[in-house]
Chains A and B, each alone.
Chain A
Amino acid sequence: MRRESASARRRRTQGTVTRAADPGLHSGPTAPYDPLAPGLATRLIDAALTLLEETGVVFDPDCEAPSLFAAAGCEVSADGVVKPGRALVRGALDSVARQARLWDRSAERCLELDNRHTWFLPGMTCIKVYDLASGELRESTADDLATITRVADALPNIDAVCIACKDIPRSDIHGEIGEFVVMARNTTKPLEYLCENAESLGVVIEMATAIRGSREALVEKPYFLQIVTPLPLNYAKTHVDQVLMAARAGVPVSVGTLPIGGASSPITIAGCIAQSLATDFAGMTLAQLARRGAFVIGSSDVFFMEPATGAIGNFAQTSLGDMVMCQVRRELGLPSFTGIGGQSAARRFNQDAVWEITANLLQAFYSRPATCDYLGSLDEGMSYSLHALLLCDDLAGLLRSLWQGVVVDDDTLALAQARSVGPRGNYLALDHTVGHCREQVGRHVTSGR
């Protein structure tokens, strides 16, 4: 029979949150890493506010956003350029909800969406998969999404499910609505959803209401997080409609752009981040104008053009950008839905992919995003690999072991055992060794077990 160690007993009796009780918790035993010197995060935030004030952000004139901003006293041009003042944006950053809960299908267990937890999800919207029978790359289908979702349901360190691949044979509004149904039928875990059409979100809210039993139950225990992805400083009608619809329905939202530094945004990390933050703040302000206190969080991921090829690349810039984004959001007290880890530019699951996925996912030990939702994506987001997802699950387990930190107390220091064993003995047969030898030891496929 396994013995409970003294330190484990003490933690339990003191009611300390343990890994099993709260698997996503990273905060506490170890500290996040802030790459920026004190004051520089504030300067980035200030630059984003200046961008909004001076350059402005485009909201499609054929939607509700310009009138909401005009009613709030903002300068709005006829072609939809809005210049929100910093007082308005600051007010929105103050009133936005800083945490929310995402509940599983049966509304029994939840994920805390805040800046103290990290959650892992497969994703996101790949258009090809590696056929499990032939190993060949082909277009993805609804059946592939069902298979990936079911495997994700089985994996111990995957907490929720995003649309890993698209239903390419049905690339229309009905297909993207169907993707939600496929996920709901193949996992009991909470969901992330994203769509091209705002009408799809309306239907998905209705379907989630049916699963919960009532609109009130869905508001009380949200079943999915809506992801909205505008262009840098440019919100199309569908993005505005989705933000407003979700905010008013009590659906948690992650709204952010995917800038490519050097193409759609400045090439420098600071410039790309400032523009991304401005895009985030614009969406968050819009949501607060619709419903004060809504959980609508800016979540831009920053990417950069690789100058030799023009493709997305530059591991160092992307990693630094992600770490800085997480630091800035910590400064604002917000969760950062920006985990870039778990994906690779490699075309298939090979040594290149293993290197890149391992490097970028383990970076989360330091950066602490609230979600990592690109797990299993290859070929710059085009192709999905279940093998890559299993590696990510394993690495997520490793991260969770690391986040438990190091317990330093009388029991773990083991001075009493050292006195007993003396300088020439060994520790193999001690109860102390038996009691502790399985702590922070995962069954990691990466360890060669």
Chain B
Amino acid sequence: MPTRMSSLEDRDLHQRIDADLRRFLAEHQVLDLPAAVMQEIDAIRARFAASYVAS
């Protein structure tokens, strides 16, 4: 009966984590906020920037 470790590719912890990380970086996408919400957020930030500079 093969043991678990001997049947697997010989990679250390950092190599295994790095492979997983590269996969997430390459593949994972997140839907952006809706355009209307982004417009509202941009407007909020712009208003604040103007008032903060003014004060």
Query: Which single member of A132, A154, A210, A386 contacts B41 (CB below 8 Å)?
Result: A210
Residues on B with beta carbons closer than 8 Å to the beta carbon of A211 = 33, 37, 41
Q: How far is the CB of A109 from chain B (nearest CB, A)?
A: 15
Which residue on A lies nearest to B19, using beta carbons? Answer: A445
Task: Determine whether A449 belongs to the interface, using a CB cutoff of 8 Å to chain B.
Answer: yes
- Which residue from B17, B33, B48 sits with its C-beta under 8 Å from A445? B17
Residues of B within 8 A of A386 (CB): 21
Q: Is B54 an interface residue (CB 8 A)?
A: no
Q: B29, B38, B41: which has the most chain A beta carbons within 10 Å?
A: B41
A349: chain B residues within 8 A (beta carbon): 14
How many A-B contacts are there with CB distance less than 8 Å?
Answer: 76
- Separation of A147 and B45 alpha carbons in the complex (Å): 22
A207 to B47, CA, bound (A): 12
Q: Chain B: interface secondary structure?
A: helix
Complex contact B48–A203 (CB within 8 A): yes
Residues of the A chain whose Cβ atoms lie less than 8 Å from the Cβ of B40: 210
Q: Which of A153, A199, A390 contacts B30 (CB 8 A)?
A: A153
Contact size range, A: 35 or more
> CA A445 – CA B16 in complex, angstroms?
7
Partner of B44, one of A132, A206, A445, A447: A206
Contact code string A182-215 (vs B, CB < 8 Å = 1, else 0): 0011111000000000010001001100110000
Chain A residues near B25 (CB-CB < 8 A): 132, 147, 151
Query: A387: which of B17, B29, B48, B52 is its contact (CB, 8 Å)?
Result: B17
Complex CA gap A386/B31 in Å reads 21
Number of residues from B at the complex interface, CB < 8 A: 27
Asked if A177 and B45 make an inter-chain contact with CB atoms under 8 angstroms apart, the answer reads yes
Query: In chain A between 402 and 449, which residues have their CB closer than 8 angstroms to a CB of chain B?
Result: 445-449
- B-side contacts of A153, CB under 8 Å: 28, 30
Q: What is the chain A residue whose CB lies nearest that of B49?
A: A174
A206 to chain B: closest residue by CB:
B44
**Contact A448:B5 (CB < 8 A) given known A150-B30, A151-B24:** yes
Interface set, chain B 6-55, CB cutoff 8 A to A:
8, 13-14, 16-18, 20-21, 24-25, 28-33, 37-38, 40-41, 44-45, 48-49, 52
The reply to whether A390 and B48 contact each other, CB–CB distance below 8 Å, is no
Residues of the B chain whose Cβ atoms lie less than 8 Å from the Cβ of A185: 30, 32-33, 38
What CA separation (Å) do A185 and B45 show in the bound complex? 15
Could you tell me the distance in whole angstroms from the C-beta of A171 to the nearest C-beta in chain B?
15
Tell me if A88 counts as interface (CB < 8 A to partner B).
no
Q: Do the beta carbons of B28 and A354 come within 8 Å of each other?
A: no
Contact: A188 with B31, CB < 8 Å? yes
Q: Determine whether A270 belongs to the interface, using a CB cutoff of 8 Å to chain B.
A: no
A184 to B21, CA, bound (A): 21
| B8 neighbours in A (Cβ, 8 Å) | 448-449
Interface residues of A in 131-173 (CB under 8 A from B): 132, 147, 150-151, 153-155, 173
Residues of the A chain whose Cβ atoms lie less than 8 Å from the Cβ of B31: 188
A391 within 8 A of B: yes
Complex CA–CA separation, A147 to B25 (angstroms): 8
Residue in B16, B24, B37 whose CB lies within 8 Å of A154: B24
Residue A181 lies at the interface, judged by CB distance under 8 Å to chain B: yes
Q: Is A387 a contact of B44 with CB atoms below 8 Å?
A: no
A–B complex contacts, Cβ < 8 Å, 10 sampled: A150-B28, A154-B24, A174-B49, A174-B52, A184-B33, A387-B21, A445-B20, A446-B13, A449-B4, A449-B16
Chain B interface (Cβ < 8 Å from any Cβ of A): 4-5, 8, 13-14, 16-18, 20-21, 24-25, 28-33, 37-38, 40-41, 44-45, 48-49, 52
- Nearest first, the 9 A-B pairs at minimum CB distance are A154-B28, A210-B40, A154-B24, A390-B17, A206-B44, A445-B16, A203-B48, A207-B41, A387-B17
